């Protein structure tokens, strides 16, 4: 698993906005989706894989399949997309490295607070993000699509 | 009569129905779901399932979404093996009108055969069509 140019947190995983806006800017050829619900449901997995754009391959992994992900043979730039912030440290500490973590969309549930119209975070998620930034030298920023307003973690 | 459900980003679907009313008149059994920025995806999925379940129960159902791979599309597609309905994405005004007009006289089978492919031809580059450079 090489050349991960961006990791993105988005509860909607792969959708139009991501395909149309983020893939071209980062010249993405491999889309890695890490999501237990999709990985464990054959039909969801099937329709997710079918949504691959012509320009890239899609792969689906469960959260506990980090070893398989690390061993994945890839060509070109890859993006990792997940809705679970707590998966990110496991990736970084297991040989999957990247320098940018984009917060693209999390909605209001449980004990989250709203920071931007597309982004809600709980205190434990914020703590996790701060630790990711400090410990792994990853730039954490909130931005819906490239060229829209960008917010560094400390500006939220 | 074939029921119609439109699921789109923002109010596109809601306004498609409102605009259709000007031309078709009868927009009964047509419902829409608007998905906005910041809305919870799981809630969208739940609302989509609720409407699909009800609207496909005693009638044929056509579901329109706005864009292949978008969140409305994803929410609807997940239920295609659980409930019986047709799903067309990339919906536009002419296609929507055509189906809204014919859903009394035709069933889904006939709509599939006669109308959906014609809908693809509804996007016309007028300059070329009229020979204007």
**Record: contact A16-B69, CB cut-off 8 A:** yes
> Nearest Cβ partner of B70 from A16, A108, A109?
A16
Q: What is the pTM of this model?
A: 0.85
**Record: contact B70-A11, CB cut-off 8 A:** no
Q: Average pLDDT for residues B115-132, to the nearest whole number?
A: 91
Q: Which fold has domain B3-130?
A: Rossmann fold (3.40.50)
Report whether B116 contacts B93 (CB < 8 A): no
Q: Please report how many Cα atoms fall inside a 13 Å half-sphere around the Cα of residue A34, on the Cβ side.
A: 24
**Chain B residue nearest residue A10, CA to CA:** B41
More confident residue, B37 or B53: B53
The dihedral sign for the CA sequence B24, B26, B32, B36 = positive
- Alpha-carbon distance of B8 to A130, in angstroms, equals 35
Mean of all residue pLDDT scores within chain A: 94
Question: Which residues of chain B does A108 touch, with a Cβ-Cβ cutoff of 8 Å?
Answer: 38, 40
Model pLDDT, residue A155: 86
Q: pLDDT band for position A110 (50/70/90)?
A: confident
Question: Which residues of chain A does B49 touch, with a Cβ-Cβ cutoff of 8 Å?
Answer: none
Q: Average pLDDT for residues B17-21, to the nearest whole number?
A: 95
Q: pLDDT band for position B79 (50/70/90)?
A: very high
Model pLDDT, residue A17: 83
Model pLDDT, residue A107: 92
Question: Which tokens is A126 given?
Answer: 């914020």
Question: pLDDT tens for residues A45-88?
Answer: 999 998 888 899 999 999 999 999 999 999 999 999 999 999 99
**Record: contact A47-B78, CB cut-off 8 A:** yes
Domain spans of chain B?
3-130
ipTM, 2 dp:
0.76
> Nearest Cβ partner of B40 from A51, A53, A108?
A108
Distance (Å) from the alpha carbon of A12 to chain B's nearest alpha carbon: 6
Among A55, A83, A107, A116, the residue to mutate for chain B (most B Cβ within 10 A): A107
Query: What Rg, from alpha-carbon coordinates, does chain A have?
Result: 15
Question: pLDDT tens for residues A129-141?
Answer: 999 999 999 999 9
Domains and CATH numbers, chain A: 4-155 (3.40.35.10)
- Alpha-carbon distance of B104 to B60, in angstroms, equals 11
Report whether A132 contacts A82 (CB < 8 A): no
């Amino acid at each position: 698993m090489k050349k991960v140019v961006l990791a993105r947190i988005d509860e909607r995983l792969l959708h139009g906005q991501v395909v149309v806006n983020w893939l071209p800017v980062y010249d993405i050829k491999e889309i890695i989706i890490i999501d237990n619900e999709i990985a464990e449901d054959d039909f969801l997995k099937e329709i997710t894989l079918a949504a691959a754009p012509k320009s890239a391959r899609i792969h689906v992994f469960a959260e506990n399949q980090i070893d398989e992900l690390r061993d994945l043979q890839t060509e070109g730039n890859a993006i990792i997309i997940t809705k679970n912030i707590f998966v990110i440290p496991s990736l970084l500490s297991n040989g999957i490295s990247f320098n940018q973590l984009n917060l693209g969309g999390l909605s209001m549930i449980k004990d989250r607070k709203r920071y931007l119209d597309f982004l809600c975070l709980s205190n434990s998620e914020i703590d996790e993000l701060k630790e990711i930034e400090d410990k792994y030298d990853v730039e954490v920023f909130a931005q819906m699509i490239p060229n829209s307003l960008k917010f560094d973690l400390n500006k939220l | 009569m074939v029921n119609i459900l439109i699921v789109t980003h923002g109010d596109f679907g809601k306004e498609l129905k409102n605009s259709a009313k000007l031309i078709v008149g009868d927009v009964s059994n047509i419902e829409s779901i608007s998905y906005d920025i910041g809305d919870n995806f799981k809630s969208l999925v739940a609302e989509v399932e609720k409407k699909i379940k009800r609207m496909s129960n005693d009638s044929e159902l056509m579901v329109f979404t706005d864009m292949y791979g978008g969140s409305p599309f994803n929410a609807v597609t997940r239920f295609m093996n659980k409930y019986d309905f047709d799903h067309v994405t990339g919906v536009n005004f002419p296609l929507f009108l055509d189906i809204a007009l014919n859903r009394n006289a035709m069933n889904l089978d006939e709509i599939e055969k006669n109308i959906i492919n014609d809908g693809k031809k509804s996007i016309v580059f007028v300059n070329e069509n009229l020979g204007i450079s």
